[in-house]
Homo-oligomer: A and B are copies of this chain.
């Protein structure tokens, strides 16, 4: 992949585009493009740290499977998103499993490359921690909604979050390419319940459902539902 294309794609993300330019350069210099075949595992829970990743094309499933085989899908990370930074700080094992979804292209910066870079420029620790603070905020929101909000509101909220790439994509997408089952496991709901709520939203003309995708027709009303 061309260096120009790569940089322009990463510049779409809030985090990367606001980094000091020298750090951007260093990151790109240390990075290697990596491709995943459909369903290929990048890492699993308990694996040792292996560095930082950015999604360039396709998407990556971040989740975990319980002893009973139930799956909790934390999120689907997509184009200008970075992930894998927690282990950079504490050197502890991975908290989640990561799988490529379809063909996807990643940017990878190895743990050692990052640590040498940070050794030379310790001030950059702050920038990388920024990535973690965003994730912590999102996780808090998630956790709170799970216990406090009614399911329909949680679903509405999540649709909006996905549409705007959890704050990374500025003109929010209107069409979300994701099966209802995946949405369900992100919300810790059954597929059936998820379908029921979506059908209801479709009846109100707020979304439109197609095979494997959800189209947001009325983001305004969706936002109203998400607050309740």
A208 located at the interface, meaning its Cβ lies under 8 Å from any Cβ of chain B in the complex:
no
Contact residues, A107-164 vs B (CB, 8 A): 118, 122-123, 125-126, 128-130, 132-137, 139-140, 142-144, 146-149
Bound CA–CA A126/B88 (angstroms): 10
Most central of A118, A122, A129, A137 by chain B CB within 10 Å: A129
- What chain B residues lie within 8 Å of A130 (beta carbons)? 89-90
Q: How many residues of A contact B (CB 8 A)?
A: 39
Residues of B within 8 A of A132 (CB): 89, 129, 132-133, 136
How many monomers of this chain does the complex have?
2
In Å, the complex CA distance between A132 and B136 comes to: 8
State whether A129 touches B89 (Cβ < 8 A). yes
Residue of B nearest to A143 (CB): B143
Cβ contacts under 8 Å, A134 to chain B:
90
- Check B122–A66 contact: CB distance below 8 A: no
A-B contact list, 27 entries, CB within 8 Å? A64-B144, A66-B144, A66-B149, A67-B227, A67-B228, A72-B148, A86-B137, A89-B126, A89-B130, A90-B130, A90-B134, A92-B133, A92-B137, A95-B137, A118-B126, A122-B123, A122-B126, A125-B125, A125-B126, A125-B129, A132-B132, A132-B133, A135-B136, A136-B139, A139-B139, A142-B143, A143-B146
